Amino acid sequence: MPHHKSCKKRMKTSVLARERNRSVRSHMKNSIKALRECRTRTEAEAMVKDVMSVIDKAARHNIIHKNKAARDKSRLVSMVNRLSG
């Protein structure tokens, strides 16, 4: 257990931040999975903008690395382009 007042506060804030980060990361993963489950190109193109926004937001808040965000977006766009119809 921490003895300093600042350490006690840091423990509380880190718990809140961890919960917030887990929530954002989970939302990001679920939206990516939903996009990957699309079978038609029109359906995927409708979703891709929202998924990109979620990924960008996670990268902007340092929840994921900016290079991971770029890699994920690139792979999703290429996956959408491979879909037919």
pLDDT tens digits, 14-26: 999 999 999 999 9
The residue extents of the domains of the chain are 5-82
Mean pLDDT over 24-47 rounds to 96
Residue 85 has pLDDT above 80, yes or no: no
Mean pLDDT over 25-54 rounds to 96
What is the predicted pLDDT for the residue at 69? Answer: 98
Backbone φ, ψ for residue 13 (5° rounding):
-70, -35
Burial class (CB in 10 A: 0-12, 13-18, 19+), 81: exposed
Which two tokens mark 42? 């029109």
Residue 31 has pLDDT above 80, yes or no: yes
5-82, CATH topology level? Methane Monooxygenase Hydroxylase; Chain G, domain 1 (1.20.58)
